[in-house]
Chains A and B, each alone.
Chain A
Amino acid sequence: MKRGLLAGLVIACGLSAQVAEVATIEVTTIEVATIPAEAGFVVLAKTGRLAAAVCRDKTLHVWSLPDGKAVRSIDVGDRAMDVVTISDDGRWIAAGDHRGGYTVWDTASGAVQMELKMAFYPFAIAFSTDGKRIAIAPAGEPVQIYDLASRKKLFELQRPVGGTAAVAFSRDGARIATADADTEVRVYDARTGELISSNADFLMVPLAAAFTADGKHVLTAGGDKIIALVDAATGNVKRRSAKLVDPPIYMETSPDGALLAAGLMHADNMLQPAPLMISEVASGRTVQEWKPATMMVGGTWTTDGHLLVATTTKGAIHLWRVR
């Protein structure tokens, strides 16, 4: 792909019948017409300044936002990336491929900071909030915690049957939560890797987990289609939501800690769009629900309190400011 051919534009969009629950949506469309193929998923930095995607032109593209200008493109060769993630400040991008190769790049220079080979491709990858550590959940294997500066493995977490579907650090970096394939939700001490608590109330696999802003609770959900508020210290469930229409696969709390965004997966057809729910952390009450026209492929709360959601169509990445 040629650099400099991407044009960014911002379209202010009014209400449509499909998005009736949302007061106003500004749509930023990053035109990627010169890329011969689509992006499977899109990562967004919490600064709201960077977006990145591995497109089917075998290139990791990084764009600045909101102008949609290409700032970097990194050739990934024949590596089929299963998971890509970006640190909150946008400094690092990590990706894991289907053959178990993992790379962390410095987005400013494009340099490789860390390269790892593991037995399997990733189920999940997450940076700590300060961007100093990375948690990698290879498929079916224990979560591995690495220090980015020294490139050293710090420790690994327990080995749940089936591996870990989602992993999250608390904002203060003190705790790690895992949503595990054996249906349990576990909380660990992020300094030692010791298990603090676990919860086995779900019948199905939890697929997403997010700490509350104070790190005292984990909001988690999956195939049970219920969002549970779990006490991180004891593992006890403090609150359960009403049953949702589909399983959440993305969960994140807003910068002020007041709201939870939960992106659902259309279980009967994973390629179809499913709703994004925004609820109050304190009460669990749903305050907003929005169903994009095509499947959500990325999203984040930005540090200034907006919720950005990415969708794709052929040749374009669309960014939606949902809140």
Chain B
Amino acid sequence: MNARLSRRDALLRGAAIGVLKVAPLLGLGDAVSALIAQDKDPARKPTPWNEIGPFYKKLAPNQAKLRGPNDPGLPVTIAGRVFNTRGDVLRGAKIEIWQADHLGLYDLDGYRYRAALVSDSEGKYSFDSVMPGHYPARVCQHVHYVVTAPGHRALITQLYFATDPVFEGDPDGNYNRDPLVLSRELVRPVTLSGDPKAVQANVSFELVLERA
């Protein structure tokens, strides 16, 4: 197994202990990226597959602000970079995301909490949303992803949150309480920032595609 990967995993596991953390000066995602950037071996493990679910909707708008000014729920910013398994930055990758609102309801009739983003010149993407709610018949809070880039296999996955009460503070031990969470790596640490009266959650989620 790639030593760099185990190091990154160890760092993220460490960050997940206690689960909720106040953001350090450098965001966790940036810290991880900085460590990775120092590494000589650029190879990356592909982001694990996770099923698409029944509510994918095509032709979503390119909008990074999914949260309206009066939307209830915990504000969350999700950001990351898109790479391939060789470590090449993927610019112009299409990142389709969709999620339930804070009550766990999907918008089937419109495009609320749905977007099709494009990674920038550094492979970065980000969007502002609310922490998705739990919904019946599904155990964990999650955000769905379909990521496509020319010359690469489409990545279908889901992002989970280490703060999800379902994990009871122990995502390592409890991630598979949701039978659809097949990989611990998809459960990401959550950091809090901002004024105590206006708390904001931040999550880093790197996406690694396999070449076609």
Asked if A181 and B57 make an inter-chain contact with CB atoms under 8 angstroms apart, the answer reads no
B59 contact from A203, A223, A265, A268, Cβ within 8 A: A203
A14 on interface, CB distance cutoff 8 Å: no
Q: Is the CB of B56 within 8 A of A181?
A: yes
Q: Which of A75-133 contact B (CB under 8 A)?
A: 80, 98, 123
Q: How far is the CB of B190 from chain A (nearest CB, A)?
A: 26
- A223 touching B52, Cβ below 8 Å: no
The answer to whether A225 and B52 have CB atoms under 8 Å apart is: no
In angstroms, Cα B17 to Cα A135, docked, is 45
Given contacts A203-B57, A205-B54, A222-B54, contact A247 B179 (CB under 8 A): no
Residues on A with beta carbons closer than 8 Å to the beta carbon of B179: 80, 98
Is B12 engaged at the interface, CB distance under 8 Å to the other chain?
no
* Cα(A98)–Cα(B180), bound, Å: 9
Contact indicator A223/B57 (Cβ below 8 Å): yes
Which chain A residue shows the least CB distance to B103?
A268
Chain B residue contacts of A98, Cβ below 8 A: 179
> Taking CB as reference atom, which chain A residue is nearest B56?
A205
Flag if B56 contacts A183 (CB, 8 Å): yes
Whether the pair A247, B54 counts as a contact (CB closer than 8 A) is: yes
Contact with A along B62-98 (1 / 0, CB 8 A): 0000000000000000000000000000000000000
The one of A139, A183, A269, A271 that contacts B58, using a Cβ cutoff of 8 Å = A183
- B-contacting residues, A139-186, CB 8 Å: 139-140, 161-163, 165, 181-183
Establish whether residues A140 and B52, one from each chain, have CB atoms under 8 Å apart when the complex forms.
yes
Whether the Cβ atoms of B106 and A267 lie closer than 8 Å is yes
Q: Is chain A's binding surface mostly helix, strand, loop or mixed?
A: loop
Task: Tell me how far the C-beta of A297 lies from the nearest C-beta in chain B, rounded to whole angstroms.
Answer: 13
**The one of A165, A223, A271 that contacts B108, using a Cβ cutoff of 8 Å:** A223
Interfacial residues, chain A to chain B (CB-CB below 8 A): 80, 98, 123, 139-140, 161-163, 165, 181-183, 203-205, 207, 222-223, 225, 247, 249, 265, 267-272
**Contact A271/B54 with A203-B59, A223-B108, A247-B108 known, Cβ cut-off 8 Å:** no
Contact present for A204 and B108 (CB under 8 Å): yes
Q: B106 to chain A: which residues have CB within 8 Å?
A: 267
Residue of B nearest to A202 (CB): B58
CB distance from A28 to the nearest CB of B (A): 27
Alpha-carbon distance A205/B51, docked complex (angstroms):
13
Q: Can you list the 8 inter-chain pairs with the closest CB atoms, starting with the nearest?
A: A162-B52, A270-B137, A161-B154, A271-B136, A181-B52, A269-B136, A204-B57, A139-B51
Interface flag for B5 (CB, 8 Å) = no
Q: Is the CB of B58 within 8 A of A203?
A: yes
Answer yes or no: B49 CB below 8 A from chain A CBs: yes
Out of B49, B55, B105, B137, which one reaches A205, CB within 8 Å?
B55
Residue of B nearest to A270 (CB): B137
The contact size tier of chain B is: 20 to 34
Minimum C-beta distance from B57 to chain A (A): 5
Q: Report chain B residues within 8 Å CB of A265.
A: 54
Q: Cβ of A161 and Cβ of B146 under 8 Å apart?
A: yes
Using A161-B146, A162-B146 as known contacts, say yes or no to A267 and B56 having CB atoms under 8 A apart. no
A-facing residues in B95-144 (Cβ within 8 Å): 105-106, 108, 135-137
Residues in A neighbouring B156, C-beta threshold 8 A:
140, 161-162
Query: Which residue of A140, A223, A272 is within 8 Å of B55 (Cβ)?
Result: A223
| Distance in angstroms between the alpha carbons of A269 and B100 in the assembled complex | 12
Cβ A271 vs Cβ B57 within 8 A: no
Q: Beta-carbon contacts of B152-195 to A below 8 Å, as 1s and 0s?
A: 00101000000000000000000000010000000000000000
Are A161 and B54 CB-contacts (below 8 A) given A140-B49, A247-B108, A267-B106? no
A204: which of B49, B56, B137 is its contact (CB, 8 Å)? B56
Residues 35-61 (chain B) with a chain A CB within 8 angstroms: 49, 51-52, 54-59
Name 18 extra pairs, CB < 8 A, besides A268-B135, A270-B137: A98-B179, A139-B51, A140-B51, A162-B51, A162-B52, A162-B154, A165-B54, A203-B59, A204-B55, A204-B108, A205-B52, A223-B55, A223-B56, A268-B105, A269-B137, A270-B135, A270-B136, A271-B137
How far apart are the CA atoms of A205 and B58 in the complex, in Å?
9
Residues of A within 8 A of B33 (CB): none
21 pairs from A and B in contact (CB 8 Å cutoff): A140-B49, A140-B52, A161-B52, A162-B56, A162-B154, A163-B52, A183-B56, A183-B57, A183-B58, A204-B57, A204-B58, A205-B54, A205-B55, A222-B54, A247-B54, A247-B108, A249-B54, A267-B108, A268-B105, A271-B136, A271-B137
